[in-house]
Structures are given as C-alpha cells and as structure tokens.
Amino acid sequence: MDFFKNPKKASFYNGNWMYEPGIVPTFAESVATHTFEGGALTLFTSPSPNASRGGLGGPMLTVKLTSPARNVIGVEVTHFRGEAKRGPDFELGGEQTSPELREEENLLVYRTGELEARIVRHGGYMGWNMEFVGGGKPLTSSAARSAAYFYDSKSGAGYTSQQLEIGVGECIYGLGERFGPLVKNGQSVDMWQADGGTGSEQAYKNVPFYLSNRGYGVFVDSPADINFEVGTVKVERVMFTAESETLRYFVMYGAKPADVLERYTLLTGRPALPPAWSFGLWLSTSFTTDYDEATATSFIDGMAERDIPLSVFHFDCFWMRGNHWTDFVWDPEMFPDPEGMLRRYHEKGLKICVWINPYIAQQSRLFDEGMANGYLLKKEDGSVWQTDLWQSGMGIVDFTNPAACEWYAGYLREMMRMGVDCFKTDFGERIPVKGVKWYDGSDPVRMHNYYTELYNRTVFRAIESERGIGEAVVFARSGTAGTQKYPVHWGGDNAGNYPSMAETLRAGLSLAVSGYGFWSHDIGGFEATAPADLYKRWCAFGLLSSHSRLHGSSSYRVPWSFDEEASTVLRRFVRLKNSLMPYIYEHAIEAHETGVPVIRPMAFEFPDDPACAYLDRQYMLGHDLLVAPVFSPDGTAEFYVPQGKWRSLLDGKKYEGGRWYKETFDYFSLPLLVRPGAVIPVGSTETRPDYDYTDSLTLIINLPGDGAASREIPNVTGVRDALVTVTREGGKFTVSATKPLAGLAAEIDGVKYPCEGLTTTIDL
C-alpha cells in the first residue's frame, strides 16, 4: 500500500464532445440572478439558459467574485456550499480595496484597479462568458463550458473545475519547481509533493500558480492535489481541477511580469531577506561519505590554502549516528568535542549549517518522548504512524500541534547555543495521506503538500528567535505556495551530467516565476561524481546563482578532488560573486520587498521579445546581467542577446543585440553580459560576501547613448546606503552620489576614472 501517493484522478473528457463513462457534467451556462454586497459579486447560474420559471431542482453552480487587493479578482465556483471545511489553507494577505460593479444591458462589469471581469448575463446556447480585461486589453476568459462540476457516478466523487482560455502565441510559466520545459503549454501537471529527483515529472516544490506572458497570473487557492492541464485535455485552455465541491482561484493583472508577481506575493508572502554572509560559498561534507572532524577541518584548511573564500560549512546527515535521524546528537566517535570544533570553525570566520529532517527514527532519543506527548503523527486508531522507508520505524513530527512545534524548536535552539547558525531542512515530501489523523484534524490530502510550510516555518522562526530577524536562513528542499517566505531553497537531487545541469536551471527559472526569490542547487550534481570539465562549468553557473553550495552524494565536492585547475576556476568565480555583492544584494532587497526573484527567465525581463519566450538555457541575474552557462564539454555556448548594445562584464567584448551567438569559452569565462543602459556596481572585496559595499566601489558603465542609470547601494543590514546616478550627454559622463563614497571609480570601455565628492564629470 502506497501511503504517499495522491488519489487517482478521474478522467472527464473523451475528445471535445463526449465524456468518459459515468461522468455527469454541470456547467455554468447563464446568469439567473446576482447580488452585490460588501464588495462581493455573487452569480447564481442556471445550467440551461432556457430554464423556465417552473424548472425547479437540478444542479447549479454559484460563482462568487471578490477582490483581496487592487488588480486581483478572486473567483469561487461552488456546487454544494454545505461541504465540510477542513484545513489546512494557505495564509493569504491583501490590502484595502473597493471593487465596483457596473451593470450594462447584458453585461456585469466587476472592476478593481485596472482589472475587470466582464460577465455576459444571457448569451444564448452555450453562452456563459466571463472575460478578464487588464489595462483595457483582453487577458483570458472563462468561456462556454469552462466553469464546471463533474460527478463520477462510478466512484461517487465530485470535482470542481475551471478552464481559462490560452491565446495564440501565449506561453504559460510557473507551477513550482518543474524540471521539464520552461513553457508549460502541452503539459499535464499534478500538484503533489514527491521525492523524485530532478530527472522526473515529480517535484519537491509544487506551487498552484502560473504566469502568462500576456500580462496576468492565476493562483489556485488550495494546497490539495490540484491537477493542471495546460493546453492538453482542451488545447485552447488551461484546465485546473480539485476533488471538492468548491474551487477558488485568483486572477491578477500587471503591465509587466514583475507587477503580476508583486501581486501574487502580496497574497502569499514575500521572502525574508537572507543575511549577506549566506550569499558566499557553502561547502558540504556530502552525503553517505565517511567523515569526522579531521576530514572536515582538512576541507576547510584546504580551501584556505588555495585562497578560495568560504562562508558556510555544512555538516550533512552523518553528523548524527546512522539510523538515529533525527535526534540532534553529534556522533561521539566522529565528533568527540562538537562545541570546541564549532568554536574553532567560527574563529576561522565560518558560519555553520547542519542537516535535519522532520522524521524521527525509532532508535532516536526523541521517539519515545514524542510518542508519549502526542508530538508524532498518528494513525486513525490513535497509535503512532510509522514506516521503515528512510529510517527504521520512523515517525513524523506533527507540526499541526503547537506543542510539537515548540518541542522540535527547543532542540534547534540547543544546537544554536552550541554554535550552529542555520539548518538544512531536508525532506518533507513523503507525507502519508492514508489512515492518518493530524492533531488539528486537517485533511490528510490537503496536508500532504502543506506540511512543508509548517516544517520550514517552525525551523525558520526558531532561528529568528535565537539569532534575530535578519540572521535567519534555511537550506530547504520542499516548498509550496507561501514557503518562499523562508529562504533559501535548493533544487534537490540532480546528477553529475550536462542534461541534469540544464534541467536544474529550468527548474530554478520555473520556481523563480512561482514567487521564490532565492534559489540554489548542488554544484556538480548530487548523484554520481561529475567529470572535471562539468564540475568546472557548473562552478561558474553555481556562483552566478543567488546562493551557491558544493554538495554531493557518494564523494566529496572539494575542487582538488577533481583536478587542481578546478580549484583555480572555483576561486575565480567565488571572488567574482563576492565582488558583485553590491549588485546582488540590491536585488535581494528587491526580492524581499516586492517578490521579484534574483534570477529570472529571459521572458520575464523581455516579455515583448518573441525570441525570449522559450529560452531556458540562459537567464537574467537581476535586472541587468545576462548569464548563459556553458552546457558542453567543448566549451561551446549558444545564446541569444536581446536588442541593444551589450558588453561582457568579464572582458569588455561588445555584442550587438537582436541575434544569436555561438562562441567557445574556457573554464574561466562564460557569457556574462551587461544590459544596455545599465550601471553595475562592483565591490572592492573578493574574500567575503559581507563587507562595506560603498567602500572603493567601481561602477561598470554601459551607456551606449545619451541617458541615465541609477543604482541603490545597500549595506549588509539590507538598508539602502547610497544612491549613485550616471548620466551621459554625448561624450560627457556625470557621476553623482547622495553621500561621499571613498574610492569611488567609474569604468567606461575598460578605463577607470576616479570620482571624488558628490559629483564628478568625465569628458571623453
């Protein structure tokens, strides 16, 4: 019996006109009556536009429109309103809004900000239509036979479903971390957490939100096993379905993709700002390898001897004894003096991360305590639910029990007082749905995906309570809508080959447009040991991600275990990333404040360039840096450059946009291009990520024509410390700052010019 699988989905359609045997459909086909109270528009629909006054009984759907925020319309489709409500539910925010209703001859227009829902009252045969219009432009619509309820007479199950139109040339992105094609058109996607690795259709982070390149997004407000059919069952539509009597979704409008994501994260939450030190290099002991304190110290000292800056050292599973996970006890044979060891590592300038998971092995010292106090998930008969998959006889912490959360957090605080700074929150996907009973009575199917939110929230808040706001960071694998509030998340179990490197990037870009501002991945791949050339290519990619970690499965990932050149390559890109921290941390603050991610698909930044729509082998790091990782052993990279005059940050080479390039790069380079009209701030420190970003700052200027560009330079606490502006008029450049910046310089076409005082003019 598979305790972790979602129930098998019903199949409704047999082609365009027929239904599968036993399926009884009900559609919203005509608005019979409506009410508008308290900003909510409720539509009572008739299943037939020609129903007479005496046509009593029979199924009908109620459609309710609300607006939790400007430019956001919520739509709730309901069959039977009396269905028992069982959690969990996403925690949603919003803002004060006053939606309006305008009634025309045969039209109801529900408006919030620049977004309208235009509902036809009576449209004749198959006449139901609810069109969404944003900024005066059609976005999508719930057309004929789109809002539906399907009853399966064979199983007795009922499903509420909605279909929204896909326009010609429209591309759909998002739906969480997905390892297949970036554009989701033609894909069937189930929202179901699974530990399937990066080479499968399963995902660790399922987010029921998608972003269209037509100026809108759709969020389905349910942590249950929602099924999305993106141009599959109905090739002209996105269809999403829940086994429920009610389905609620939100349509949100934005003139730019960033505006849509800002609306979505207003509802579901924005990421905390990670501490500046977390953006440096993380080095792991790796998993299933035989290590002790001497091994760990040799790695740390080896990095220092090779002048490779290291910020965080991570102890993976075997800091604890095998089959004791999780018991928060250092293996006494391998680590006889953990407090002393952690103190010595702190003296070397390192932060410490340790691996944990929410599972409690039967051999763990926590098992009996958790069982006695009701802190572990129970079966329906009241006994503890257990499995031998992963750890012998393990139970699962029931984070719906506040006392269990505090119990688990108490052990985390003990670890932090010992010297641990943060935690890798692994697992959280294999949560049973059959024969279990949660402390708060949550529905097991809805809890399967939502569990990760409770798990990561508990750990993140425990770190905040001990270390303070602004110092908390986790390294999480699982997530759902809202879990982006607790960064950072990494991409799961990839492999040491080029296809896996590419699928890792696709997943990161998909996750980015699903509301996750920060992201990392296992450099070199987790499974197997990569060849040296791939490791070196992945180092460049990994250090041009928001967060960067060396981690693997059966072998260590220190660079000298591949070849000595790998150490030189790694040093090059760690130092480059540290020098780019004034730029990266500025975008980290933006992600924290607006929800716009640090790494972005090309289509996110260039939605009007059709050549960017399907690009998934390159990306934007922030607003102004184009990154194209090298995915081939011979060093060949094929990449597209959008319109304008771009230049390489690494060697100054100029690129004319609007065309493709095919070039060969050595291990110390890759396409890293500065956007036209941009100024890139480069810091003076390469040895660590947290330093004074305003000291001896260099501005890399790419203003090919007249114009101006500004940068907000932050400090390590996340406060904007200074504004610098560069203006070009012909051959004259003016550099101005809101405060004196010691050692400020401007670099134009490879030549540095010192800038003194608040304003400097450079006349070329």
- For residue 647, pLDDT beyond 70: yes
Model confidence at 1, pLDDT cuts 50, 70, 90, reads very low
Can you give the residue range of the structural domain that contains 329?
Answer: 276-357+405-429+446-594
Give the model confidence (pLDDT) of 79-105 as tens digits: 999 999 899 999 999 999 999 999 998
pLDDT of residue 49: 46
Answer yes or no: do 165 and 311 share one domain.
Answer: no
pLDDT of residue 2: 59
Give the model confidence (pLDDT) of 565-577 as tens digits: 999 999 999 999 9
Residue 6 covered by a domain? no
Whether the CB-CB separation of 209 and 172 falls below 8 Å is answered with no
Give the model confidence (pLDDT) of 682-712 as tens digits: 999 999 999 999 999 999 999 999 999 999 9
Whether the CB-CB separation of 223 and 480 falls below 8 Å is answered with yes
Model confidence at 479, pLDDT cuts 50, 70, 90, reads very high
Cβ contacts of 447 within 8 Å, gap of 6 or more: 88, 223, 400, 431, 433, 438
Answer yes or no: do 210 and 322 share one domain.
Answer: no
Whether the CB-CB separation of 69 and 263 falls below 8 Å is answered with yes
Q: How many domains does the chain have?
A: 4
Q: Which is nearest to 705 in space by CA: 668, 730, 738, 672?
A: 730
Residue 260 covered by a domain? yes
pLDDT of residue 47: 66
Of the residues 246, 268, 290, the one at which a domain ends: 268
DSSP state of 675: P
Answer yes or no: do 283 and 260 share one domain.
Answer: no
Answer yes or no: do 648 and 526 share one domain.
Answer: no
| Buried residues in 501-518 as b, exposed as e (16+ CB within 10 A) | bbbbbbbbbbbbbbbbbb
- For residue 7, pLDDT beyond 70: no
Answer yes or no: do 460 and 582 share one domain.
Answer: yes
Give the model confidence (pLDDT) of 726-760 as tens digits: 999 999 999 999 999 999 999 999 999 999 999 99
Judge if the upstream peptide bond of residue 326 is cis by omega within 30 degrees of 0: yes
Residue 612 covered by a domain? yes
| Annotated catalytic residue 429 | yes
Helices and strands per DSSP (H, E), number in the chain: 11, 49
Answer yes or no: do 462 and 605 share one domain.
Answer: no
Residue 72 covered by a domain? yes
Give the model confidence (pLDDT) of 349-369 as tens digits: 999 999 999 999 999 999 999
Answer yes or no: do 154 and 181 share one domain.
Answer: yes
Largest CA distance in the chain: 88
Whether the CB-CB separation of 707 and 677 falls below 8 Å is answered with yes
Answer yes or no: do 604 and 660 share one domain.
Answer: yes
- Percentage of the chain exceeding pLDDT 90: 94
Provide long-range contacts, Cβ within 8 A and 24+ apart, for 180-186: 180/503, 180/506, 181/506, 181/614, 181/616, 182/506, 182/509, 182/510, 182/601, 182/614, 182/615, 182/616, 183/613, 183/614, 184/210, 184/228, 184/230, 185/230, 185/231, 186/230, 186/231, 186/232
Residue 437 covered by a domain? no
- For residue 123, pLDDT beyond 90: no
10 Å CB burial of residue 227 (0-12, 13-18, 19+) is buried
Average pLDDT, the chain: 96
Whether the CB-CB separation of 557 and 549 falls below 8 Å is answered with no
C-alpha distance from residue 257 to each of 73, 217, 508, 553 (Å) = 17, 9, 17, 37
Whether the CB-CB separation of 209 and 220 falls below 8 Å is answered with yes
E strands, 560-658, in order: 599-600, 619-621, 625-627, 636-641, 645-648, 654-656
Q: Which is nearest to 669 in space by CA: 657, 689, 653, 646?
A: 653
Q: What is the Cα–Cα distance from 370 to 576, expressed in whole angstroms?
A: 47
Residue range 483-488: average pLDDT?
98
Residue 394 covered by a domain? no
pLDDT of residue 125: 56
CA-only gyration radius of the chain, Å: 27
Q: What is the Cα–Cα distance from 89 to 7, expressed in whole angstroms?
A: 19
- Percentage of the chain exceeding pLDDT 70: 97
DSSP state of 84: P
pLDDT of residue 127: 77
Of the residues 594, 610, 643, the one at which a domain ends: 594
Distance of CA 293 to the CA centre of its chain: 34
pLDDT of residue 552: 97
Catalytic annotation, pick one of 221, 225, 229, 493: 493
Catalytic annotation, pick one of 221, 398, 429, 466: 429
- For residue 3, pLDDT beyond 70: no
> What residue type is assigned to position 273 of the chain?
L
DSSP state of 527: B
Q: What is the Cα–Cα distance from 332 to 292, expressed in whole angstroms?
A: 10
pLDDT of residue 53: 47
- For residue 121, pLDDT beyond 90: no
- For residue 451, pLDDT beyond 50: yes
Answer yes or no: do 219 and 285 share one domain.
Answer: no
Give the model confidence (pLDDT) of 180-231 as tens digits: 999 999 999 999 999 999 999 999 999 999 999 999 999 999 999 999 999 9
Residue 367 covered by a domain? no
Task: Supply the CATH number for residue 574's domain.
Answer: 3.20.20.80
Of the residues 594, 623, 658, the one at which a domain ends: 594
Residue 651 covered by a domain? yes
Answer yes or no: do 117 and 192 share one domain.
Answer: yes
Write the Ramachandran bin of 390: left for phi over 0, alpha for psi from -120 to 50, otherwise beta. left
Give the model confidence (pLDDT) of 383-431 as tens digits: 999 999 999 999 999 999 999 999 999 999 999 999 999 999 999 999 9
Give the model confidence (pLDDT) of 520-547 as tens digits: 999 999 999 999 999 999 999 999 999 9
C-alpha distance from residue 61 to each of 67, 125, 153, 360, 379 (Å) = 20, 17, 18, 45, 36
Task: Supply the CATH number for residue 757's domain.
Answer: 2.60.40.1180
pLDDT of residue 4: 67
- For residue 240, pLDDT beyond 50: yes
Q: Strands 548-550 and 281-284, how do they pair?
A: parallel
Q: Which is nearest to 366 in space by CA: 409, 428, 401?
A: 409
pLDDT of residue 48: 55
Answer yes or no: do 611 and 533 share one domain.
Answer: no
- For residue 645, pLDDT beyond 60: yes
Helix axes 532-543, 498-512, angle to 10 degrees: 10
pLDDT of residue 5: 65
Answer yes or no: do 242 and 206 share one domain.
Answer: yes
- For residue 622, pLDDT beyond 60: yes
Model confidence at 437, pLDDT cuts 50, 70, 90, reads very high
Catalytic annotation, pick one of 426, 522, 686, 690: 426
Give the model confidence (pLDDT) of 48-66 as tens digits: 544 444 445 578 899 999 9
